[in-house]
Amino acid sequence: MPALGHLFTPPAAATIPEPVLALLAAPKTIGGVLRRGIRVRCRASGAGRCRVAASVRKRRVASGSKRLRAGRSAVVAARLNRRGRRVARRALRARRRVAVRLRVTLPGAPAQRRRVTLVPR
């Protein structure tokens, strides 16, 4: 069997950038989230769909998705559903913070979880 020392090259997959996620701003204001949703910047090494789901106390309060091209970034707005608007308005009236858990799914990567605090400013 010939020696493969000089013939073997490592796979090119090592040079592909890892899928990453960057939140735009934290903490986010409740008023801004009511108007625009929870905005998340997604970047993936492969093409696919970036999905964002937000929950408060294990209840889904917002969701959104957007198609991504390989290597490009996009901003996904997770818009509040009816329950989310209710939670946000009540927190705003009571001048309370809201702890939201985000689950972001990028193409070719396991789901990433983040925690965002919504503040009543």
Instruction: Flag whether 7 is in a domain.
Output: no
Runs of H (alpha helix) within 23-114: 30-36, 82-93
In this structure, the strands spanning 73-80 and 59-68 are antiparallel
Question: How many domains does the chain fold into?
Answer: 1
Percent of the chain with pLDDT over 70: 79
Instruction: Flag whether 6 is in a domain.
Output: no
Domain residues for the domain of 112 are 18-119
Q: Tokens representing 35?
A: 């108007």
DSSP 15: G
- Which CATH number belongs to the domain containing residue 84 in this structure? 2.60.40
Each residue of 26-44: pLDDT tens digit?
Answer: 678 999 999 999 999 988 8
Q: Tokens representing 44?
A: 């993936």
Each residue of 1-30: pLDDT tens digit?
Answer: 555 555 555 555 545 556 666 666 667 899
Cβ atoms < 10 Å from Cβ of 49? 14
Q: Which residue has the higher pLDDT, 56 or 17?
A: 56
pTM here is 0.79
Rounded Cα–Cα distance for residues 84 and 81 (Å)? 5
Length of the chain, please? 121
